[in-house]
Amino acid sequence: MPELELLAKIACYVLMGLTVLFAILVVTVRDLFHRALWLAGVLIAIAGIFIALGAEFLAASQILIYVGAIMTLVIFAIMLTGKISEKSIARTNIQWPIGLVTLTGLAFFMIRIITQTPWNFQSTSMEAHISVLALGEKLLGIYIFAFEIISVILLVALIGALVMAKKDNSSC
């Protein structure tokens, strides 16, 4: 059905365009709360791209973790810190030249990688069925080391947050 394929293609490009547009808005809008909302928009649009590419589990976990948990925490932090949400807050600081250099370097390498990759995927390999079962077996099989390291890092972060949030006057 070429009509439906065309529609799917248009939808995919619209999603990609929206991702870029929202990402630009995240860094240009003045109000910090609006920026956080645009960031949520970026993350949802990326989940949409995942769905369009057939990676439904990835899309669902993207929404569950990034939009459901991390964005909520970000907005929570914005709400709890009163002054930061004022419109007059400066958007740049002394470190912007370093940031510019790093970003240019990163962009250069990204573009090199993208142009040098042989993009000769067949449409059959794109439709590879990624089942949750296979994903779980891979995570607890060949990628067990990375998986365990990530969980240890998360645990360390958790304990660190607890220690920092503890009251100052108590011992031990």
Partner 1 sequence: MDQIFVYIKKAIVDLVGTFLPESVEIMTSILISITVFCLLGPLLMMYMTWLERKVVGRIQNRLGPNRVGKFGLLQPIADGIKMLTKEDIVPKNADKIVHLLAPILIIAPALLLFAVIPFGKNMTAIDLNIGLIFFLAVSSITTIPIFMASWGSRNKYSLLGGMRSVAQMISYEIPMVLSVVPVILTVGSLSTVAIVDAQSAWGGFKWFLFTPWGLVSFVVFFLCSVAECNRSPFDLPEAESEIIAGFHTEYSGMKFALFYMAEFMNTFTLSALTVTLFLGGWQGPFLPSWIWFFLKTFVIIFIMVWFRGTLPRVRVDQLMGLAWKVLLPVTLVNVIISGFWYYYHNFWALGLGTILLFLTLIGFMKLNRNYMPEKRVYTYGN
Contacts with partner 1 by CB under 8 A lie at: 1, 3-4, 31, 33-34, 37, 40, 44, 56-57, 60-61, 63-64, 67-69, 71-72, 75-76, 79, 131-133, 167-168
**Cα–Cα distance for residue pair 66/58, rounded to 1 Å:** 11
Q: How far apart are CA 29 and CA 31, in angstroms?
A: 6
* Element holding 162 (H helix, E strand): helix 144-165
CB of 75 to partner 1, least distance (A): 5
Minimum CB separation from partner 1 for residue 77, in Å? Answer: 12
Contact 12, 52 (CB under 8 A): yes
14-17 long-range contacts, Cβ below 8 Å, gap at least 24? 15/45, 15/48, 15/49, 15/52, 16/49
Q: Which is nearer to partner 1, 117 or 169 (CB)?
A: 169
Shortest gap between Cβ of 140 and partner 1 (angstroms)? 14
Shortest distance in whole angstroms from residue 100 CB to partner 1: 32
Residue whose CB is less far from partner 1, 68 or 99: 68
In the bound state with partner 1, the residue whose beta carbon lies nearer, of 4 and 172, is 4
Distances in Å between the Cα of 18 and the Cα atoms of 6, 31, 41, 97 are 18, 20, 9, 28
Q: Which of 116, 131 has the CB closer to partner 1?
A: 131
Query: C-beta of 44: minimal distance to partner 1 in Å?
Result: 8
- Do 29 and 10 contact (CB within 8 A), yes or no? no
Nearer to partner 1, 72 or 102 (CB): 72
